[in-house]
Amino acid sequence: MAKAILIYETRSGNTEMMAKAIETGLKKAGVEVELKKAAHANVDDLKNVDAVVLGSPTYVRSLIAAMKTFLFVMDNADLKGKIGAAFGSYGWSGESIEILTETMNNLAGMDVIEPGLRIKRRPTEKGLEECREFGKKIAGRIQ
Ligand SMILES: Cc1cc2nc3c(=O)[nH]c(=O)nc-3n(C[C@H](O)[C@H](O)[C@H](O)COP(=O)(O)O)c2cc1C
């Protein structure tokens, strides 16, 4: 069975709503998923997975701090050629998705699905459906 890990961080819950909906989409498409907050994820979590999905809101035009820290953990894993995807909630500029995409491509040599998914503020039902579809799209790239 294909396996994905979905690592995210959130301050006010919006990116977490996205994470859970993406998880639903992946699971519906038959992918085994582990969901973890960045502060609790470690290098062993990145072993034996087919895809790594990273989620961060944008704060002060950057990643939320715990996700920035996690990228240094990710530097110790061999993810070359693995599927990657980025998502996050934002308010007005939304840099986090591009930063995550760029880092997965350049630091880890991953095969990143572009564009990533960004949703303004709290996802509506329509936004959550987009997240579930994004999960299915990731599943399609793994299988
Ligand atoms: C102090 C602060 C700084 C922020 N900076 C940005 C920013 O630079 N660009 C942006 O798009 N949104 C910015 N936002 C908005 C958040 O990205 C937005 O509220 C998002 O939905 C939060 O997601 P979360 O609930 O997953 O933490 C900022 C919010 C706060 C409180």
Give 6-30 pLDDT, tens digit per residue: 999 999 999 999 999 999 999 999 9
Q: What is the pLDDT of residues 103-137, one digit of tens each?
A: 999 999 999 999 999 999 999 999 999 999 999 99
Distance 108 CA to ligand 1 centre (A): 26
Residue 102 Cα to ligand 1 middle (Å): 20
Out of 18, 20, 58, 93, mutate this one to test ligand 1's pocket (max ligand atoms within 8 Å of CB): namely 58
Residue with tokens 């793994």, as numbered in its chain: 142
Q: How confident is the model at residue 58 (pLDDT cuts 50, 70, 90)?
A: very high
* CA 90 / ligand 1 centre spacing (Å): 5
Please state the pTM of the whole predicted model. 0.98
| H or E element that contains 8 | strand 3-8
- State the CATH architecture for 3-142: 3-Layer(aba) Sandwich (3.40)
Neighbouring C-beta atoms of residue 72, cutoff 10 Å: 9
